[in-house]
Structure 1
């Protein structure tokens, strides 16, 4: 049995003034695919939002302890193993960030993250 991983593989990162674009590969042995669902694994939305909070913290120095809410959250299309994703993060204001996940399959998810 292969060892599980908890994050996508970061293939590249491009930063600009108020934005970051990451290319992520979603590995087959991602821990969160266990039981979600056995015959057709999909990446849970809660994992996608958790990754967003982690990357906003990493690239914009936002304190995860100050996380307040998610807004305008939309999940348009499932994400499966071996997808290569583009995650775009934009700082909208001092305490507000927008995000979107997309791939060759289309738009997967988007929303905003608010901090106190």
Structure 2
């Protein structure tokens, strides 16, 4: 199923969202890094890259937006940054949230590369 992509409040802070698609257990977002992404300023001058902390923030942001995640951050595990995300790059972000475990799995990837992945845990606010 294809979902609509509402505009971001501040597009300089997020990748261009090309197409979100629902899967059986989560969502896959097709994204493109804009050349004028605010996080490139000072990170780094010769070759601007998307910082790892920003990739984690994007995963949480899109999980809140598309998967209804409302819980508070607890901790992360198995977070790996394997390849750089650069200006004008196209890629996908796969998100899967397991509410019973309060666990968000994220994976930034393309057909030929995995850029980063990991698990983010949240506090169960229903207790």
TM superposition score normalised by structure 2: 0.82
In structure 2, C-alpha distance between the alignment counterparts of 1:87 and 1:18, rounded to whole Å: 14
TM-aligned CA deviation for residue 53 of structure 1:
0.7
Answer yes or no: is the 8 Å Cα contact 1:33–1:42 preserved in 2: yes
Root mean square deviation of aligned Cα: 1.5
2:36 alignment partner, one of 29, 32, 57 = 29
Gaps of 5+ in 1: none
Q: What does residue range 62-101 of structure 1 map to in structure 2 within 5 Å? A: 62-63=69-70, 66-94=72-100, 95-101=102-108
Q: Deviations along 1:28-87, whole A, 9 cap, x unmatched?
A: 0000001111111011000000000111111121125x1111111000011100001100
Gaps of 5+ in 2: 1-10
Q: What does residue range 51-70 of structure 1 map to in structure 2 within 5 Å? A: 51-63=58-70, 66-70=72-76
Which residue is 2:6 aligned to? none
TM-aligned CA deviation for residue 91 of structure 1:
2.0
Task: Name the one with the larger strand percent.
Answer: 1
Q: What is the total number of aligned residue pairs between the two structures?
A: 112
TM superposition score normalised by structure 1: 0.89
Bigger relative contact order (CA 8 A; separation at least 6): 1
